[in-house]
Amino acid sequence: MPVWLFTYHTKKLSKLASEVFIRTLQPIQRIDLAKEEYVLLKAIIFCNPACNNISDEGLKLLERESVHYSKTLLRYMQSIHGEAKGASRYGQVISIMEAMTYFAERGKEFHMVKMISKPGTRHYHYHSVNRVLHNIMEA
């Protein structure tokens, strides 16, 4: 839900909504992430081999691609900023992955709360909660 629509209905942002819609961008803005850096960082994140329910072959493929994109990002930054400054910038960019992971978890929480709190009957809420809990346990 866009921030303006969320604030229109509730007149204020909850702490969770603020983290999902606003604070998510702060680490990226703080280090002034370039588009090229952002794209490579997203590729590294998408290729993170720390996933459940993936075959060993799939994990190896993800790890290989993650290393490939990591090296590409480092080489790109060193070509722009020089050897030492590029390596420092690389460390700075990689360090925001932790923040992005945190905000992704908060986004899941936000959507779970939204699914549970949809207007409807008590019967709907009971089944909605069960479905959400089932989805969480399967993830």
What is the pLDDT at residue 1? Answer: 46
What is the pLDDT at residue 4? Answer: 45
What is the pLDDT at residue 134? Answer: 62
Question: What is the span of the domain harbouring residue 53?
Answer: 3-138
What is the pLDDT at residue 100? Answer: 80
Q: Which of 47, 104, 51 is nearest to 72 (CA)?
A: 47
Any idea what the Cα angle at residue 3 is, between residues 2 and 7, rounded to 5°?
Answer: 120
**Residue pLDDT, tens place only, 102-122:** 777 888 877 777 777 666 545
Mean pLDDT per block of 10 residues along the chain (139 residues) reads 48 67 74 90 88 88 96 97 96 87 79 70 52 62
> What are the b/e assignments for 18-37, b being 16+ CB within 10 Å?
ebbbeebeebbeeeebeeeb
What predicted TM-score, i.e. pTM, was given to this entire model? 0.63
What is the pLDDT at residue 51? Answer: 76
Grouping H, G, I as helix, E, B as strand and the rest as coil, residue 118 is coil
What is the pLDDT at residue 106? Answer: 80
Q: Measured between alpha carbons, how far is 92 from 27 in angstroms, rounded to an integer? A: 10
What is the pLDDT at residue 8? Answer: 47
| Domain tally, the chain | 1
